[in-house]
Copies of this chain bind each other. A is one copy, B any other.
Amino acid sequence: MKASIGDVALKAGVSNATVSRTFAHPEQVSEATRLKVQAAADALNFSVSRSAGILKSGRTYRIALLVGSGIIEWFTAEIIAGLNDVLRDAGYDLVIYPIEGSEARDAFFEELPVRSNADAVFVSSFGISPDEVKRLGTAKIPIIGINTTSEGFDATVGINDKEGIKLIVRHLAKLGHRNLLYLYESFSSTLGFSSFNRISGFQEACDAVDGLTARTLAVQKGDSILDAAISEIMAQDNPPTALCFHQDSQAIPLFFRLQRSGLSVPGDISVTGFDDSTFAKEAELTTVRQRPYDMAVDAAQKALALIEGQPIEEPFETFPVQLQVRGSTAKPRATPLL
């Protein structure tokens, strides 16, 4: 059915090796032969099969990406795009493994399907345990972390989450806010190392400001983070004057809800996000910008270098974050809400 290298060789009247060379090292083949071979290949709709070459090379030309959830949100989508752009050009396939739920998780680390079947593995924003990293290490392939701890990883890329949230806190403090509330989903797919730092960084930054009251509120996934937010704003005793969301996508819907509740941003309440993702600009959401696409491109390059056994100049890289001050933050109300 499908033409193989032998069919082409037969048709072109040359040896298998010459056909192989025509595609792999065309400069080693004479012009005349090359044309003959190409004509035969075209006639037979032949393309070189990667599988065979892969077997010979000892490489799999597959690179795995472990993500915490099957739902592909902004961050993961950017990561996939960045990784794919670099890896595809280098001849590698990116294979996505969503590790959802503890059964799937245990199964993955038990079977370790990447062992012998991937040349490198990325772990993205995934609350991976030291034991799991260790287990992954037995696959003897480079492990690259994206927004993870660096323990056990061959390379990592990420942002300084603490630094990022600190920018938010200091911005709000300078505006005069003295009562902040941090909101996040406690089982959010992104609640790994990165998230942990963002939350603890918030507390640290707040503690560093005199007279600043700060609370963090974990909302169960599924519970409405918006209901929680509105309830807190309307509380009689000491309501926050600013809400800091763990990520933009949790803050965006709040704007709609607030409008319906007769509350105005930033007049009644200031709101901040984190990511600078979809709609953040249009919503005029004050946030912290990170660029996961760029991180992924860098991570992919690190992976390729590690696969080649090349030394990496900077295995653990921290990417810049930037405060984006927009219309959702302003001075707190001078008078109580009611």
A interface residue numbers (CB < 8 A to B): 1-2, 45-52, 54-55, 58, 60, 62, 70-73, 77-78, 80-81, 84-85, 88, 93-98, 111-113, 115-117, 138-140, 226, 249, 252-253, 255-257, 259, 278-279, 282-284
Q: Quick one: closest B residue to A42, CB to CB?
A: B138
Q: Quick one: closest B residue to A1, CB to CB?
A: B140
Establish whether residues B84 and A138, one from each chain, have CB atoms under 8 Å apart when the complex forms. Answer: no
A58 to B81, CA, bound (A): 30
Given contacts A115-B47, A252-B279, A282-B253, contact A98 B84 (CB under 8 A): yes
Contacting A72 at CB < 8 Å: which of B2, B77, B97, B283?
A: B77
A52 to chain B, nearest CB (A): 6
Query: What are 18 A-B contacts defined by CB distance under 8 Å?
Result: A45-B139, A47-B113, A51-B51, A51-B54, A51-B55, A51-B60, A62-B93, A72-B72, A72-B77, A72-B78, A80-B80, A84-B98, A252-B282, A253-B282, A253-B283, A256-B279, A256-B283, A278-B278
A72 to B52, CA, bound (A): 32
Given contacts A72-B80, A93-B93, A140-B1, contact A116 B48 (CB under 8 A): yes
A71 to chain B, nearest CB (A): 7
Q: Quick one: closest B residue to A264, CB to CB?
A: B259
Chain B residues with Cβ below 8 Å from A279 are: 252-253, 256, 279
A264 to B52, CA, bound (A): 63
Contacting A88 at CB < 8 Å: which of B72, B97, B111?
A: B97
A282 to B250, CA, bound (A): 11
Q: Quick one: closest B residue to A282, CB to CB?
A: B253
Establish whether residues B93 and A45, one from each chain, have CB atoms under 8 Å apart when the complex forms. Answer: no
Additional A-B contacts beyond A49-B116, A70-B84, A253-B283 (15; CB < 8 A): A2-B58, A2-B116, A2-B140, A45-B139, A46-B116, A47-B113, A47-B116, A71-B77, A72-B80, A93-B95, A94-B96, A226-B282, A253-B282, A255-B256, A256-B283
Establish whether residues A72 and B62, one from each chain, have CB atoms under 8 Å apart when the complex forms. Answer: no
A50 to B51, CA, bound (A): 10
Establish whether residues A45 and B138, one from each chain, have CB atoms under 8 Å apart when the complex forms. Answer: yes
A72 to B139, CA, bound (A): 30
Establish whether residues A71 and B60, one from each chain, have CB atoms under 8 Å apart when the complex forms. Answer: no
A78 to B72, CA, bound (A): 7
A252 to B97, CA, bound (A): 31
Establish whether residues A70 and B85, one from each chain, have CB atoms under 8 Å apart when the complex forms. Answer: yes
A95 to B249, CA, bound (A): 28
A4 to chain B, nearest CB (A): 9
A298 to B52, CA, bound (A): 31
Chain B residues with Cβ below 8 Å from A252 are: 279, 282
Chain B residues with Cβ below 8 Å from A113 are: 47
